[in-house]
Amino acid sequence: MHVYPYADTMPEDLIANTPACHLELPVRPSSQAQVWTEVRIAEWKATGERPVIAVGTPPQLAAFLDYVRVGGLFALC
């Protein structure tokens, strides 16, 4: 049981343990970030498969920011 410094402010129906703490999640191998090179972009367009973690180059980021600034999506950045 937890000791809460502000126990009188805690809801009375608070459960003592979280049922999710007994779950065991499958182990996934860690992924390395892959840079969007021209070759990877061509493979993605041909197959539809993309890296799990993909990062753009500085010129790609600049092009994206220019696009959203002009395209009206700047508020989303």
Would the pLDDT of 2 be above 60? no
pLDDT (0 to 100) of residue 31: 85
Residue 43, judged by CB atoms within 10 A of its CB (0-12, 13-18, 19+), counts as middle
Render pLDDT for 30-45 as a digit per residue (tens, 0 to 9). 889 999 999 999 999 9
Distance, in Å, from the CA atom of 75 to the CA atom of 77, rounded to the nearest integer, reads: 6
Render pLDDT for 7-65 as a digit per residue (tens, 0 to 9). 666 666 666 677 787 888 888 888 899 999 999 999 999 999 999 899 999 999 999 88
